[in-house]
Amino acid sequence: MPFVHRDGDGKILAVYEDQLEGTEEVAANDPALAAFIQKNIPAAAQNDEWAQSDLALSRVMEDLVDILIEKKVINFSDFPKGAQEKLLSRRGFRKEFSYVENLFGDDEDGFDDGEGLF
């Protein structure tokens, strides 16, 4: 449960994971806590659409990199070492996910099997 520090009017000023002197425990679904989080952490106030959009766009970017490499527009070695590591790591995750997904059914989303250019 979260712990909050309130002002004299009962308004939440801070939220803590652990109980500190002058804090009180509140339910995780407390409306005042939710309002505090939405006001002070804008990303938490946004619905999941931005996160889903970012995930979809990152997939598009991965596919774009694959296409550019396949068409020999760029070479994998053209990317900085850090980017190469991220691309290889991501490729590995996609391959593992594809393997697990194939165990439980067909790929209905139209994604490739994770095999690829690397």
> pLDDT means per 10 residues in the chain (118 residues)?
90 90 90 85 63 83 92 94 89 71 56 50
What domain range is 39 assigned to? 3-45
Could you tell me if residue 96 is inside a domain? Answer: yes
Alpha helical stretches, state H, the chain = 31-40, 42-45, 49-70, 81-104
Same domain, 7 and 28: yes
* Claim to verify: residue 53 and residue 99 sit in the same structural domain: yes
**pTM: predicted TM-score of the whole model, two decimal places:** 0.44
Kindly state whether residue 113 falls inside one of the protein's structural domains.
no
Q: Which two tokens stand for residue 99?
A: 């393997």
User: How much is the pLDDT for 43?
Assistant: 61
Predicted pLDDT at 79: 92
State the DSSP code for 112: -
**Domain identity same for 12 and 54:** no
